[in-house]
Amino acid sequence: MAKPILIANWKNHPGSLSEAGTLLRQLSRNSRLYKRLSLFIAPPLPYLGTVSLRTRNFASLATQDIPAIFQGTHTGMVTSDILKSFGVRLVILGHSECRALGETSESVSQKVKIALRSGIVPLVCVGETSRDQDGEHFEFLRDELKLSLASLNRKADTSKLVVAYEPVWAIGKSARDAIVPADLKQSVIFIRKVLTDMFGRKTAEHIPILYGGSVEPANAGVLLDETGIRGFLVGHASLHAKSLGAIAESLI
């Protein structure tokens, strides 16, 4: 059985390298615990080197985006091959905060291909902005997932693909506002069904589905209870060593 996956999405925090250093020092005290799962830390780009050096024995490096270009000369871009050479192993793609600034599912799909070409695992985020009684959000979810993975055909190498279900309405709040396990379970079944339609049952059942959106120590345990998820994508709680530790405990 593969290890549970925990992704720490630091976004644009902590605000300075010295604060990042303090957080890394605190995290390393829990290295024994983190070695029992697949922990990825996605820091702001300038901290990559430091994070890599200081988490070497208990975490892998991730990044929060890559450009939708593979080759050529592009001012201002840090391309996937450069990131890979720094040890980046996973990229968060299609995060709702990027989509809110214009990222489309079409460009996510391009980036998925580029990540795989560079040998980086694409973690593709999908999630509805609101839920409704008539279940229309499922249609949205299906379209977003299909378009974001359109570059992969049925025979594509999906062994490295990870999907994160992140309902936009639940991001950046508190455990009280997160999704309830019954609804999470329903969404995971639905996502699995769409993946099955796209890639066939055998392939689809091996694609890990994570949950993200206000995961905190208070709700991590219940969200795992028979919902079918294989781990978490954690934002604000990943900036507090104690909270991340407690979430990791719930995963093992």
| Interacting residues toward ligand PGA by CB under 6 A | 9, 166, 171-172, 212-215, 233-237
Specify the long-range contacts of residues 187-196, CB closer than 8 Å, at least 24 apart: 187/141, 188/227, 188/228, 188/229, 189/228, 190/138, 190/141, 190/142, 191/126, 191/141, 191/145, 191/163, 191/165, 192/228, 194/141, 194/142, 194/145, 194/146, 195/145, 195/163
**How many other CB atoms are found less than 10 A from the CB of residue 154?**
9
**How many other CB atoms are found less than 10 A from the CB of residue 169?**
18
Q: Does the annotation count 74 as an active-site position? A: no
Q: Please report how close the Cβ of residue 219 comes to ligand PGA at its closest, in angstroms.
A: 11
Which residue lies nearer to ligand PGA by CB, 161 or 244? 244
Q: Please report how close the Cβ of residue 175 comes to ligand PGA at its closest, in angstroms.
A: 10
Query: Which residue is at the shortest CB distance from ligand PGA?
Result: 235
Which residue lies nearer to ligand PGA by CB, 105 or 243? 243
Q: Does the annotation count 95 as an active-site position? A: yes
Which residue lies nearer to ligand PGA by CB, 112 or 123? 123
Q: Please report how close the Cβ of residue 233 comes to ligand PGA at its closest, in angstroms.
A: 5
CB 226 within 8 A of CB 185: yes
Which residue lies nearer to ligand PGA by CB, 81 or 249? 249
Q: Please report how close the Cβ of residue 154 comes to ligand PGA at its closest, in angstroms.
A: 29
**How many other CB atoms are found less than 10 A from the CB of residue 225?**
11
Identity (one letter) of the amino acid at 250? S
DSSP element (H, E) containing 167: none
Of the residues 95, 137, 144, 216, which is catalytic?
Answer: 95
Of the residues 97, 166, 216, 236, which is catalytic?
Answer: 166
Which residue lies nearer to ligand PGA by CB, 148 or 214? 214
Residue 229's region, left for phi above 0, alpha for psi from -120 to 50, else beta, is: beta
Radius of gyration of the chain from its Cα atoms, rounded to whole angstroms: 17
In whole angstroms, give the CA distance from residue 26 to residue 28: 6
Q: Please report how close the Cβ of residue 197 comes to ligand PGA at its closest, in angstroms.
A: 26
Looking at the annotation, which residues are catalytic? 95, 166
